[in-house]
């Protein structure tokens, strides 16, 4: 009897367990959401803020996103809405969400929200204009000038960007100087200092790090580069420099091109002692004569170009200057 009772109890336990197991629903399949972005139709990766609003047991579920592409796994199944908040590619405009800002995800499925951006084409106007030659900072008209060693010859320009007032734009300039030796000797020597302090803006503007570079005939001419300017063979000297300029501000810019140094010493040690790397030099190039400076004459003409970083210039005609009137320098002893 006891055996029968035990058997009956065992069967009951098994039946109950079977019924419990058979009544337990299978685990729910996951729902997933992918959020992506495009820039001008091409996949884009980066920081962008958005929200996902979906179903919830008691209140809507809200998910805050901070970058793309991102997959949000094991979310509630049902209807979800994606909304753009802020951020995205620099210089771009948000245009909408595809295929729809509201979508429904079913068990085991994945929906994709794509935030779309297009590049914003900003059109401003950058201009540069030659103002005057100066000798030791004093404006002078074109002509012939007899000057002693130590004299600095420079040029002043006007730089302006028209556009969104008080915005800041990176402006890159290339200044060119044609140095034409016409003296009585075979050549004259130019020494590049790099001229770290040779270009100035008024009101002050921040120089873009690493943008200041002196070149000769388009080739880099760092501190202590020597150039021979032969009789009647012009040499093109360049200065490249970038600035962070405030839009709608008139800047006066000066570039100290050459400093007259007189007769070249017997060795270059004296020259090298004057500066370690040209960072503090106030002229881009120094002019040395080979022997007494009598009849050491050269002429200078100049022009300049300007461009903005990442912005279309609406008036390219004023992005450069014509070759300015000639200045003639006669070096005195």
CATH number, domain with residue 148: 2.60.40
Residue 44's Cβ-side half-sphere holds a number of Cα atoms within 13 Å equal to 22
Per the structure, the complete domain to which residue 92 belongs is given by: 31-119
Residue 190 CA to residue 271 CA, distance in Å, equals: 12
Q: Is residue 176 part of a domain?
A: yes
Q: Which of 119, 138, 164 is the last residue of a domain?
A: 119
* pLDDT of amino acid 192: 95
Residue 248: strand, helix, or coil: coil
Q: Is residue 45 part of a domain?
A: yes
- Indicate if 63 and 163 belong to the same structural domain: no
Backbone torsions φ then ψ of 15, nearest 5 degrees: -65, -45
Q: Which of 101, 119, 137 is the last residue of a domain?
A: 119
- What is the domain count for the chain? 2
- Indicate if 215 and 267 belong to the same structural domain: yes
| Cis, bond preceding 99 (omega within 30 deg of 0) | yes
- Indicate if 216 and 303 belong to the same structural domain: yes
Residue 39: strand, helix, or coil: strand
Helix (H) or strand (E) holding 97: strand 92-98
- Indicate if 179 and 276 belong to the same structural domain: yes
Q: Is residue 115 part of a domain?
A: yes
- Indicate if 248 and 215 belong to the same structural domain: yes
- Indicate if 157 and 226 belong to the same structural domain: yes
Residue 213 CA to residue 221 CA, distance in Å, equals: 8
- Bridge partners of 286, per DSSP, are 191, 259
* pLDDT of amino acid 16: 46
Write the CATH number for 99.
Answer: 2.60.40.10
Backbone torsions φ then ψ of 267, nearest 5 degrees: -135, 170
Q: Is residue 24 part of a domain?
A: no
- Indicate if 145 and 83 belong to the same structural domain: no
- Indicate if 151 and 38 belong to the same structural domain: no
Q: Which of 99, 119, 139 is the last residue of a domain?
A: 119
Residue 158 CA to residue 128 CA, distance in Å, equals: 6
For 210, the token pair is 């690493």
Length of the chain: 333
| CA-atom Rg of the chain in angstroms | 36
Q: Is the dihedral of CA 247, 249, 250, 252 positive or negative?
A: negative
- Indicate if 79 and 210 belong to the same structural domain: no
- Indicate if 63 and 144 belong to the same structural domain: no
Q: Is the dihedral of CA 198, 199, 201, 206 positive or negative?
A: negative
* pLDDT of amino acid 263: 82
- Indicate if 250 and 327 belong to the same structural domain: yes
- Indicate if 171 and 193 belong to the same structural domain: yes
Q: Is residue 142 part of a domain?
A: yes
**Which residues, given as ranges, of the chain have pLDDT below 70?**
1-28, 57, 266-279, 293
Residue 117 CA to residue 98 CA, distance in Å, equals: 11
């Amino acid at each position: 009897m006891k055996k029968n009772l035990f058997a009956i109890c065992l069967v009951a336990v098994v039946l109950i367990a079977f019924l419990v197991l058979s009544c337990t629903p299978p685990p729910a399949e996951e729902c997933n959401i992918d959020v992506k972005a495009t820039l001008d139709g091409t996949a884009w990766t980066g920081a962008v803020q958005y929200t996902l609003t979906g179903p919830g047991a008691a209140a809507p579920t809200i998910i805050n996103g901070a970058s793309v592409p991102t997959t949000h796994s094991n979310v509630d199944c049902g209807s979800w809405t994606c909304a753009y908040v802020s951020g995205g590619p620099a210089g771009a405009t948000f245009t909408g969400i595809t295929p729809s800002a509201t979508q429904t995800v079913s068990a085991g499925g994945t929906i994709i929200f794509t935030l779309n951006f297009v590049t914003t084409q900003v059109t401003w106007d950058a201009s540069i204009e030659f103002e005057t030659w100066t000798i030791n900072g004093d404006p002078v008209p074109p002509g012939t000038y007899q000057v002693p060693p130590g004299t600095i010859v420079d040029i002043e320009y006007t730089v302006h960007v028209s556009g969104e007032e008080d915005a800041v734009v990176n402006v890159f300039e290339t200044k060119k100087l044609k140095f034409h030796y016409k003296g009585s000797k075979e050549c004259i020597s130019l020494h590049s200092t790099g001229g770290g302090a040779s270009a100035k803006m008024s009101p002050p503007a921040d120089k873009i790090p690493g943008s200041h570079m002196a070149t000769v005939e388009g080739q880099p001419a760092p501190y202590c580069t020597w150039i021979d300017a032969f009789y009647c063979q012009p040499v093109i000297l360049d200065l490249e420099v970038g600035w962070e300029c405030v839009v709608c501000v008139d800047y006066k810019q000066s570039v100290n091109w050459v400093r007259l140094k007189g007769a070249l010493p017997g060795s270059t040690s004296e020259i090298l002692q004057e500066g370690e790397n040209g960072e503090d030099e106030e002229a881009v190039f120094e002019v040395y004569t080979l022997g007494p400076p009598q009849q050491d004459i050269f002429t200078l003409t100049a022009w300049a170009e300007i461009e903005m970083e990442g912005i279309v210039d609406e008036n390219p005609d004023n992005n450069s200057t014509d070759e300015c009137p000639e200045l003639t320098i006669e070096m005195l002893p």
